[in-house]
Amino acid sequence: MAKPTLYATNLSSKKQHGPGRLFCAMIRPRAHEREAMHGWVPQLAPPLAPKLLYSQHAITAETLRELCDKHWRRMAEAGMFRGDTLVPLDDTHRGRIGRPLRDGDTIFCACARPERRKPGSGACHLEHLAPILVAVGWRVMLYGRPLFWDHDRSDLPGNGLPAVAWEDTREPYQGRVVVPTQESMF
């Protein structure tokens, strides 16, 4: 049986959106993002406290990534990233529950695409979340490229991520997207 595919990208990258619904994976979407989305999936947003500390320059980007990683791993271990548990709120954030995420849906953030980032800026939280989603059974199309669980590797050395690789090249995924050279992906 094929794994359900989630597409993960930024809102403006319409060519990288999946054929399904569009959901926000941010802490607080702005008005134009709320207009575009079908709902909000708070489980996929970075945890609020570390994000606030980072915005106040109280912690580094690396510390933020580590705190988010620990948070999402605990959620994954508790079964909160299975398809039937990833249930979005409606686009008004009033707590009405929608149908669970399903094959072909897109999760988005407002971060710049990798090729448009300012030098020294950190990776989008979706880049850190993607390996965890792959590890619990999703197929993730990150910025138009598929990731898969590489059973031939244990843990990738040094980065603490699950054994996830790019499906098209079999290269290990290192937790941050390196800008692809194929223009068709953008």
Give the pLDDT confidence of 143-167 residue by residue, as tens digits. 999 998 876 555 444 445 557 888 8
Place of tokens 């988010």: 68
Q: How far apart are the first and last CA of the chain?
A: 29
Q: Which amino acid is at 95?
A: G
Q: Quick one: pLDDT at residue 105?
A: 94
Q: Quick one: pLDDT at residue 19?
A: 93
Lowest mean pLDDT among 30-44, 67-81, 113-127: 113-127
Q: Quick one: pLDDT at residue 58?
A: 94
Share of the chain above pLDDT 70, in %: 80
The mean pLDDT value for 101-127 works out to 82
pLDDT band at 5 (very low <50, low <70, confident <90, very high): very high
Give the span between the Cα atoms of 5 and 75, in whole angstroms: 19
Give the span between the Cα atoms of 170 and 179, in whole angstroms: 16
Domain borders along the chain are 5-46+81-179
pLDDT band at 43 (very low <50, low <70, confident <90, very high): confident
Number of Cβ within a 10 Å radius of residue 178: 11
Q: Where are the alpha helices (DSSP H) in the chain?
A: 31-36, 48-55, 61-77, 125-135
* Residue among 110, 128, 100 at smallest CA distance from 4: 100
Take residue 165 and report the two structure tokens written for it.
Answer: 């690789």
Burial code (b: 16+ CB inside 10 Å, e: under 16) for 41-76 equals bebbbbbeebbeebeeeebeeeebbebbbeebeebb
The predicted model scores a pTM of: 0.81
